[in-house]
DNA sequence: CCCGTGACTCTAC
DNA sequence: CGTAGAGCCACGG
């Protein structure tokens, strides 16, 4: 079993993402106190599976959907994001997660 | 202990 | 703005 402590922090970071907003894996990891563990976030999500997490709000650093274009997960994530008003074009979120000051504003600074 | 795999990231071209 | 390669982290065979 992996560190449930870290896992819990990752989940908390994901739940902290505001509705209609997205965050990158690395960003979530850093927010969870695990800098450079983006892949751990990925594993945590895959392991959680059916947990009550807004996993669809987690995208890659480029704003791209992490799933393959023809994957079911891709369509599901795309659908959920659109349902929240997030604009998507060619499998990519129009607004990159790590860009503007809006980010710092929403991500509750220390 | 080495190696392959993955819902990743960064840099170079 | 696109692809290609190396780097990283955790996990299982």
Q: Which bases of chain C come closer than 7 Å to a protein CB?
A: 2, 8-11
Give the nucleotide nearest to A29 (CA→C1'): B8
pLDDT in the model for residue A103: 52
pTM comes to: 0.88
- List, for residues A39-68, the tens digit of each pLDDT value: 999 999 999 977 889 999 999 999 999 999
Percentage with pLDDT > 90 across chain A: 70
Nucleotide nearest to A48 (CA to C1'): B7
Whether the CB-CB separation of A55 and A22 falls below 8 Å is answered with: no
Residue A74's CB is within 10 A of a number of other CB atoms, namely: 15
Burial A11-41 (b: 16+ CB within 10 A, else e): bebbebbeeebbbbbbbbbbbbebeebbebb
What pLDDT sits at residue A101? 45
Distance A96 CA to C1 C1' (A): 15
Measured in angstroms, what separates residue A29's CA from nucleotide B8's C1'?
11
Q: What is the pLDDT of residues A59-95, one digit of tens each?
A: 999 999 999 998 999 999 999 999 999 999 999 998 7
Other residues' Cβ atoms within 10 Å of the Cβ of residue A10: 29
SS3 of residue A34 by DSSP:
coil
Q: What does the pLDDT read at residue A100?
A: 52
Q: What is the CA A13 to C1' C4 distance in angstroms?
A: 32
The average confidence (pLDDT) of chain A is 87
């Amino acid at each position: 079993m992996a560190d449930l402590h870290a896992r819990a922090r990752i989940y908390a970071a994901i739940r902290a993402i505001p509705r209609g907003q997205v965050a990158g894996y690395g960003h979530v990891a850093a927010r969870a106190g695990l800098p450079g563990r983006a892949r751990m976030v990925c594993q945590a999500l895959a392991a959680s599976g059916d947990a009550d997490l807004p996993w669809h709000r987690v995208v890659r650093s480029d704003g791209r959907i992490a799933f393959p274009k023809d994957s079911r997960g891709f369509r599901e994530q795309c659908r959920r994001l659109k349902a929240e008003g997030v604009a998507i074009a060619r499998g990519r979120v129009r607004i990159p997660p790590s860009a503007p000051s809006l980010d710092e504003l929403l991500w509750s600074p220390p």
